[in-house]
Each structure stands twice: as structure tokens, then as C-alpha cells.
Structure 1
């Protein structure tokens, strides 16, 4: 989802130049649009797509979950508004670099959790040790595991590969009210701070967690291992929350809405909204009507429909937001053979085998078949940049002149003719690809690919199926003893966790990365290239290293790279205070600093 300079000269990222374009009210040809009434004073109501996956900060790794977590919890520090390199204090009053392998944070006093417990250093220590203990598959805790334990995962081949003593030594209380993080190697302080500001750095109440069946904090024996990689809904924190943040969880009605109420005793000051309601509505026409009727303050607007709102007088319209994000169609090289999305499960014209995408000619053929120009025009209305690798504009290593795929149906057909020993052309294939319900750009991408393949050969048949967002996540980040998940192709976006090129390359291309691992994609050679570039100082040498990595992705595509979009936001005119930081999850923005007023 999310964020980077160190005094040691490790990673240098220029402060993003953010351009907010705010459109004034338009009168239109007919004397202006109907006024939007001011309704629901004291409430912020939004309608969007994609339900929360989990409210557990150590689990949620999607923007829907991260947004709600940010409202409920606090972190040790926060970004200073638009900046991704300047920080303000949070639950830590200050911090210091003990050495190149350790950093400590002083924990504030006098702050209470929603359920009445007092914040202590023990709560902070517990929060991060619990995250290391849990380390759920496909979750955000790789960003803790790697610097603190020296490895991306706490498991290998289903076996736990760390000890309780290692976890205990990674995070410790020092000098009574300081918490120290001990790194496994020299780690950039700026990057550690950028990791901590995000939702997975939200601080928990240890006593409350333990009282409700969570891990008890004991690392001395073997009992903690029972809490490693749990089922999502086994955790009390899946649908319960107790933070120190500006809003408290009131009700999560699955599939419909989540409602938060104000924490009137919030330590920073009373929040600007008494109630924050997020409703999940897949149908655009319903969301639009709710916005124009004044029953929502903000809605998710698919790019294809923005023209319907540009002449509405009473809307605040913001555009040209430089997102640090991308979208991709990922190839699964090791599909669960029990998947009901791969037909017969064989190369017989009625399905595909589990290892269908291990054939590089299939992957290159699909990449050449996709109509990138139509996708950019239809799905994004031209508001974006097509990409040739996971690298995005605004970070080190990005070069628009590096090679990228363009549609070439003749070359696509030639690659597919070579696939599977030359048998694919005569046999054909059938499988189903999914997109998250209500996501029009992703539906469009699926349609473009399916139509292009069919145009090459009518035996190349791809069906399209909408699926609920949490269900898609569950089906991506899963594995059996011998295979990965059931989705043959999965489409998902990525927003920076921390604003550095490595945070895009590692998940997509490193064999232990969150996407690559669940594709069975990667190679030792490319892994070594990525590790060499990871902590290089920005400059020509690092750019050259990432050019080589970009070319490796082009030569051996792990997916069909789509676009880096420009962002847009639509609010009623009664909302003010929005600013853009490319790492904030969700579209409303910095809600605690925003307000709603009729005047």
C-alpha cells in the first residue's frame, strides 16, 4: 500500500511535487446543475467498492482495511501532511538512532485506549512482537521480518524457521518508557520510519488483546507458534478494535457498511466528525445518485464515468494527483489443481494445466495480445502512464524509454504457436479470470485480454467473473503443500508502502516478495540483482541497476503490467481540508484534518 533519506546516505528520495487541480463550480449550458443539499451534519459518509478484509493491523494489507485501521488506531509517528520524508510525533514523543543497527522510540504517557487501558511501552513491544509471531501469509509483516529477523518469512515449507528468542531480541523495552528495535543488519532509519507510519504500525492494547484470546506475549516456550499464520477470522481483532485513534468501531455489518463513532477523549483533540460511515455499493448509478442527493460526502468514481460529474456545480473536484501506484495482471505459475477456474485442468481444449503459465511463450503471447492503448483510453481516459515493469514514475530507476510491451497480434500469435511444444494452437484453452466487483477498470482489462486472445484464435477462450474483494485476497494469498492459489490470473493494484523503487520491485519480482511468492515467480539471478540495488544510494548507478531489473521483467514477464494512474477525488462542496499524500490508503484522504460545513 505505501512510502523515503538517511543521515547515512542510504536511500534518497526527492520530495514529490504534488499538483492538486481543483475545478471551480461550472454553470453548464442550462444554468447550472441541481443544488446538492447539505445533509447529515457531523457525519462523513462515503460509498465505495471493496469491503474491509480485516481490522487486525497485522493482517490488513489492502487499502480498504488500511483506511479503517488508520481511523481507529494511532502509530508511533506520522508523515507531516504531504511529505513522505518529514515526520511528526504520534504515540512516540521522540526517537533516536542508537546505531546503524538499532533505533529507539520514547513512548508518550497519559494516552488511553478506547476501552480505557493506558498506553505503555509494553503495549508497543507487544504490538510488534505479535506481528512477528503472526506473520500471516501475504501480509504486511514482511516489512518487520526482513529488517528485524533478516528474513522475509518466518516459515519455509510450512515449518517455522525463527525462534522465540530471536523475536524477543528484535523488540525490547529500554530505560522504562523507550522501545528499541534491533535490526539484523544495517537498515536505513528513514525507511524504518516510513514503514512505522502505516496501518500495520498501529499500536495495540496488550492487556485487552490477551483478555480476548490473542497471543499472551510469552516467547519462552513453544506456545507462541500456535499463533503463527492463523486463519483470518480466528483472530478477535478480525472484527473487533481497540485503538487510541480519533474514531472507535461501532458496527461492521458485513457486506453493507462499517460505522465508526468519535473518540471524544482523543489525545490530539476531538475529531471533526461524530460518525464516519463507509458503505460498500458496487453499482455506480447508485453511488452517483447518493452523492447528488447529498446522502454521501464522497464516492468512488470509476474513470469511465467522471464526465458525468464534471459539470456538477456543488462538487469539489480534484485531479492530476501523482499516485505512487500501479496495476497488473499476474500470472500464476502453480495454480491449485483443484481450482474450478481452470476447466478440465489439462491442455485438452477444455481447460489449462496448473503449470500453464510456466511456459514463457504463453506469458509473452498474452503480453503481446493485450491492447494497452485501448486500456489507457477506455479504462483511464488517458489519465495515466503505461508501464513496462513494476517501476513507477516519481521513484528511482523509472525510465519511460525502457522497453515495454505494445499490442502486436501477429507476434502474439507467433509466441502462442510456440507454446506447449506447438500444441496450443490446435488444442486451444479455456479458463476463467476474476476481477473485484464494481471495479470497472479491472473489468475492462479482463475484457480487453479475453477479446484479443479470441481474435487470435477462437479456441483461446477466457471467461470473466466478478468476485468480492476479500474473497479475491483470500484466493491470492494462499497455498497448499504443492501449489499456490486457485486464480489462474489475478489482477490487483499496488500503492507504495514506502516511497522507494525497492518497494515495487521486491513484491513483484523478488522470489520471496508478496506477489512473486504466490505466483511461484522469480529466479536466483534476478534476486541477486534486486538485493544489490536495494540499498544503493539514488543516482546513475542505481538507475542502471534498475534498468537491468526492468529488462529482466520484460524478457521474462511475471504479469501484464498496466498503468500508473493519475488520481481524482470527488467530494461535495461542503468538505474541506483535503490534501494528498500518495501513501495514505483509501480515497478520502486525511480525514482527521478535514471538515464539513454548510457555509
Structure 2
């Protein structure tokens, strides 16, 4: 039974939550979350680029099309009830739904869409590059996004499909803000940026009632949300930096969710009214070989390497709960993912592959790795398992900056790193893992292929660009699956794992959704 008094909760939120806290359960209509939220720099959708700010934007704003709580893997209607794409004319026309309102009470208009998208481009803050991919500039965006009654026509300039454009329009900076409310708070031509960094003006399932940086986020449910009012009348996200304090608050019933527990804490906390749910994340972890090193060029070395990773040995021990086996470049849980994992640890098979190809061993190679857990543990596991086939790793630990700088300079031999997409479209990773049309040293590319000096076969380069422009959505996804198979079978990049995220919660909490990125964390369906 929920006996928690509102006054007691209010008092708790003004005091540090530490070991001395002792309270009853949280109210039935309120979700209380313990989380480290000190990463937030901005919450204006045109500027927000941090993990926690992404979560806040997703729960307070809508987009024309969006990945939503019911199924974060399916692109669905948002503020647009329907749309028509014309790939030849490079336009998409959206019809606005007529039952959406902003938290101010203002109806959501087509004009708000044009204002919001143009605002991102004109402010040109950190995430603007995502929309700018469509060929939009401050000078042309008003001509590229136009309004006619209750329809919005989006024009784009580039050799890519409307499916790609839709995924761009489902990204965080494409969130729609209330033009009238925002411009009423404009200061010195900032288009409301300062005000929106402490307030929200969206149509989402929640609105921001209180925001205190590195202290508290309080969300209030929108009772008129077009998909139905959330069951939780409010969500309180309390900044709790220490994982030990989060654990204590959860076990004492003072919070419903603890978002930042360590694997050891997760292992010890389940039971006694607490459950743990695991959510796949977007980052994929891989081992790669620089093709500037002659000893690492034979395809037999790449193939053997796939049988020298002790996948289960790692995920069943020090990576348990943090990663799962995934051997393709596009993460599971995203449209177009390829989820088959054909490779297992088999050193005898690896030795035979090398012998049949006439590859002489031992091969001595340096392995750069970020000097922190779990990366150093992963490197040591690889060192032990690869040695079984005569591939000897000399581990070189470094700071993240040192490792990535070396990677960008193409001066490594082997590299242990991870990669995540900028937005939810498979081209974001296909370009990184399956495309490199110019491998010259002076053609720097922020891709794993170029950084490993792998001159991708011409047919794969062509397929990557063809997939980008393919107009049939199903065929397009099939092409990305085919690209993943090809990279999985024959490339100097051995994809091993996909990150996972564990959340501990009271066992009466249902409906919490934590998708593969911070943009897909939803509180709308939570009940308890």
C-alpha cells in the first residue's frame, strides 16, 4: 500500500538524499527516479546534445514522425497523421493531425513545424548538423520547409531516399516547439533559446514543471496528450551521483528506479521486491586491424580472428549485464539490424584457417585500448585467446583522447573501440563500416574503414550509396542487412558485442521503456 505523504516527499526533495533517508513507498501516481543528471548542458531541442537532455526532450516534445514507446523500433506517426513522399521531386508532404496541443494550450500548427525546423538551422547550435544534411542552410531553409493550410512540405537536396529523410526528421533536433510561446520569450534575437533552456514548450506526454541543474527534474503529465494521458501524473528525476546512494534509496523504497548502478550492485540487488531489466544499447564494440601493417592484410587473418574472440567467456563473466554478443555493425533493436552471430570461439579452426592460407605465425601486433574497465579486461581476454593461434597482442593502454587520436592518425596496428550512430538510420553506421571510396592519407574520414586504411571493395561502396538512395523502404533495409553480412564475413573489423544497459526498479513498476539511445527513454507507459 502506498502511504507516502506528498508533504514528506516535498521535504525530501529539498534535502540531500543520503544514508540517513528513511521513507515509505512513493505515491502510486508518481514515478521517482534516482539518476546522475549532471551531464545536462542545454535542454532546448535546438541545442540539447547530452544523454540526459535527450531523455528530457523525448518526453516533452513530439516530431512529425517518431519512434515511440509502444515499439521504439518502428517509425510511426507523430504530429503528422500521414505523409506522401516523392523521391524523384525530393519532397515529402506531411498532413498535420488535428488533435495535438502544446502544454500552453495552443494548438499544434503547420506553422510551428516550419518555425521549429528553421529555428534549428538559423541558431546553428551543436545538433544542427543532423538537419543540415538535408541541404538546408539559414539562407534557404524557409524555402525548403513550406506550409499550405494544415500541410507541411519538406524539400531536401541530396542523393538519398525519403526513408533517410524521415529518420533525420525523427531525430532530436526535429522536435516541434510552440512558436507563439517561444517567441513571447525571445531575448536579443535568441529565438527563445535562453528561456527554452529552463522551460519546455512542447506537445509531448509531459511538460517541465521544475528544473534545477544537477539537482532535480520534475515533469508533469499532459492530460490532453493525443495518445492518451500518462498513468503517472508526475515524474521526478533526482540527481544522485553516487551509485551506492542510488542503491540505498531503491532498497529503502524512496525511489522507483535507480539508473546508474554498477554491475556488482546489480548482481546483488535483485530480489526482495526489486527487479532488474536489461535494454540493448546502440554502441557496438569491435576489434580492428590497420591495413597499413602488411602482416594484418591477409583475409585469412581477419577470418581467423573471428574464431579467436572468446565471446561467451567475456559476456558470461566480467561483461555480464554490460554487453551481449552481436556481430554486425547495425545494433539489434534498430530497423534493418542483422542479428545472426555465426562465430564462436574455436582456436583450432582459427589455426587451420591460417595454416591453409600459408600465413606464418607468430604475428606480433600492438593493441591500443582505453585504460579503463571493461576495455582493459577485454584486451587481456583477447590477448590470451589470440595467443592460442600465434597472434600475440602487446597491449598499449592510453586515455580515451590518446587512443582516439592515434586511431584518427592511422598509426595504430590493432585497435579495441566502440561506435554508435548519430541518429536512427542504418546509413549512419553503414558509412562507417562499409564505405571508403578514397583511402588516401590526405582524405580524412570519420569512419572505421578509413581509420583502419581498409580500401573497401568497389561493389560494397556502390551498394552503400545505393542503399542511401533506395526509395523502397523494405528493399533499402534488405540492402543494409546484406552489407552487414558482407562486413561480418570479410573485413578487418571484427564486431563482437553490443552494449547493454541494466536498470533496477521496484517490482511493481511496469511499462518503462529504455531504447537503444537516450532519445528512446520513455515514461509515458509506466504504471505501478
Q: TM-score range by the shorter chain?
A: 0.5 to 0.7
Change (3 A) 1:163 1:239: closer
User: Matches of residues 440-451 of structure 1 in structure 2 within 5 Å?
Assistant: 444-445=377-378, 448-449=381-382
Change (3 A) 1:108 1:368: same
Question: Cα RMSD (Å) of the superposition?
Answer: 5.6
- Provide structure 1 residue ranges, at least 5 long, that are not aligned to the other structure: 1-34, 150-161, 218-234, 335-354, 416-421
So what's the TM-score if we normalise by structure 2? 0.66
Distance 1:384 1:424 in 2: 29
Matched-pair contact (CA < 8 Å) for 2:83–2:93: yes
Matched, 1:388 2:347: no
Distance 2:447 2:287 in 1: 8
Distance 1:164 1:86 in 2: 28
| Per-residue Cα deviation, 1:427-484 (whole angstroms, up to 9, x for no partner) | x86966155xxxx65564355457778998999242365x7xxxx8x997x99xx969
**One of 14, 34, 46 as aligned partner of 2:34:** 46
**One of 56, 81, 95 as aligned partner of 1:68:** 56
1:298 aligned partner: 257
Q: Secondary structure at the match of 1:211?
A: coil
Matched, 1:199 2:199: no
Change (3 A) 1:118 1:36: same
Matched, 1:103 2:77: no
| Per-residue Cα deviation, 1:203-256 (whole angstroms, up to 9, x for no partner) | 235554993467669xxxxxxxxxxxxxxxxx8589545332413173353xxx
Distance 2:212 2:411 in 1: 28
Matched-pair contact (CA < 8 Å) for 1:57–1:199: yes
Distance 1:125 1:461 in 2: 52
1:19 aligned partner: none
- How far did 1:198 drift? 4.3
Q: Secondary structure at the match of 1:102?
A: strand
Distance 2:98 2:409 in 1: 46
2:246 aligned partner: 287
Distance 1:194 1:135 in 2: 20
User: Matches of residues 142-291 of structure 1 in structure 2 within 5 Å?
Assistant: 142=130, 144-146=131-133, 148-149=134-135, 164-175=138-149, 177-184=150-157, 192-193=165-166, 195-205=168-178, 207-208=182-183, 211-212=186-187, 236=194, 239-244=197-202, 245=204, 246-248=206-208, 250-253=210-213, 257-263=214-220, 267-268=224-225, 272-279=232-239, 281=241, 283=243, 285-291=244-250
What is the total number of aligned residue pairs between the two structures? 476
Matched-pair contact (CA < 8 Å) for 2:330–2:426: yes
Distance 1:130 1:521 in 2: 39
Distance 1:581 1:371 in 2: 28
- How far did 1:180 drift? 1.6
Q: Secondary structure at the match of 1:593?
A: coil
| Per-residue Cα deviation, 1:68-98 (whole angstroms, up to 9, x for no partner) | 22133333355564334473544x4x33316
So what's the TM-score if we normalise by structure 1? 0.60
Distance 2:125 2:448 in 1: 16
Change (3 A) 1:243 1:406: farther
**One of 462, 469, 481 as aligned partner of 2:396:** 462
| Per-residue Cα deviation, 1:182-210 (whole angstroms, up to 9, x for no partner) | 23369766665555444332123555499
Change (3 A) 1:37 1:446: farther
- Provide structure 2 residue ranges, at least 5 long, that are not aligned to the other structure: 1-21, 355-360, 438-444
- How far did 1:537 drift? 5.2
Distance 1:273 1:442 in 2: 41
Distance 1:250 1:409 in 2: 60
Matched-pair contact (CA < 8 Å) for 1:262–1:271: no
Matched, 1:129 2:133: no
Distance 1:59 1:123 in 2: 18
2:314 aligned partner: 375
Change (3 A) 1:40 1:145: same
2:70 aligned partner: 82
Matched-pair contact (CA < 8 Å) for 1:40–1:295: no
Change (3 A) 1:448 1:48: farther
